[in-house]
């Protein structure tokens, strides 16, 4: 059954995932225009875009564990998950800058420096920028082994994104706990793999 699933996944193109992945943004825009985002539509839009970003980034981290432990091969779609996550982060940030802060740069700088959760979110965003810019096959060839080392920054950026979300929430919901467990759990598993690999290299054949 897993082999059949993987064969089907290999036949699927990557590009429809980008279209499907941004449909929630279109839906949120429609809700916003038609008064469907509650009494604080800008805040709700901002939050939902951030949650979608976190969901796609966590999905990108889940690809390797799924392949290793469940045999499901989604490697073909990992870049799409990551870029969709980054795209939603950009929309999340743009909503805050344009609709919430209306590009009042002095107020923006003040908020960044005085609100720790914004500083954490900005740190996560800045870590992801070089990963998004170097996600093409051309950059993979140019950077060689350094590309993989650079893209390990995602294992810092995603937990920071989860912490950014946690710091804004006043109540520990099941959704928040799930994101924290997945973000830190997957990173923890990854660190164990890296440590085991280093030990194996040290011990030799």
| 111-157 pLDDT per residue, tens | 999 999 999 999 999 999 999 999 998 999 999 989 988 999 999 99
Task: Locate 59 and state its tokens.
Answer: 């999905």
- Cα separation of the two ends of the chain: 35
Range(s) of the domain holding residue 14 = 2-203
Task: Locate 201 and state its tokens.
Answer: 């290299």
Q: How confident is the model at residue 3 (pLDDT cuts 50, 70, 90)?
A: confident
User: Interhelix angle for 116-133 vs 75-94, to 10°?
Assistant: 130
pTM for the full predicted model: 0.93
Q: How confident is the model at residue 169 (pLDDT cuts 50, 70, 90)?
A: confident
128 burial via Cβ count (<10 Å: 0-12, 13-18, 19+): buried
Domain count, the chain: 1
**pLDDT of res. 2:** 86
Are 85 and 129 spatial neighbours (Cβ–Cβ below 8 Å)? no
Residue 139 to residue 62: CA distance in whole angstroms: 23
Torsion from C-alpha of 143, 92, 100, 116, nearest 10 degrees: -70
Are 185 and 177 spatial neighbours (Cβ–Cβ below 8 Å)? no
Rg (CA), the chain: 19
């Amino acid at each position: 059954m897993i082999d059949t699933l993987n064969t089907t996944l290999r036949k699927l193109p990557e590009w429809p995932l980008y279209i499907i992945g941004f449909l929630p943004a279109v839906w949120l825009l429609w809700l916003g225009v038609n008064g469907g985002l509650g009494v604080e539509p800008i805040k709700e839009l901002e939050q939902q875009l951030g949650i979608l970003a976190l969901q796609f980034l966590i999905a990108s981290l889940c690809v390797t564990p799924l392949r290793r432990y469940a045999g499901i091969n989604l490697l073909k779609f990992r870049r799409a998950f990551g870029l969709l996550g980054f795209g939603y982060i950009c929309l999340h940030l743009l909503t805050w800058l344009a609709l919430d802060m209306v590009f009042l740069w002095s107020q923006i700088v003040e908020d960044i420096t005085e609100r720790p959760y914004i500083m954490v979110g900005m740190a996560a965003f800045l870590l992801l920028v070089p990963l998004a810019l170097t996600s093409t096959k051309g950059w993979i060839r140019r950077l060689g082994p350094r590309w993989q080392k650079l893209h390990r920054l995602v294992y810092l950026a995603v937990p920071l994104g989860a912490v950014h979300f946690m710091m804004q929430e006043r109540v520990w919901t099941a959704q928040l706990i799930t994101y924290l467990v997945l973000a830190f759990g997957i990173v923890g598993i990854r660190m164990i793999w890296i440590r085991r690999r280093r030990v194996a290299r040290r011990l030799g054949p």
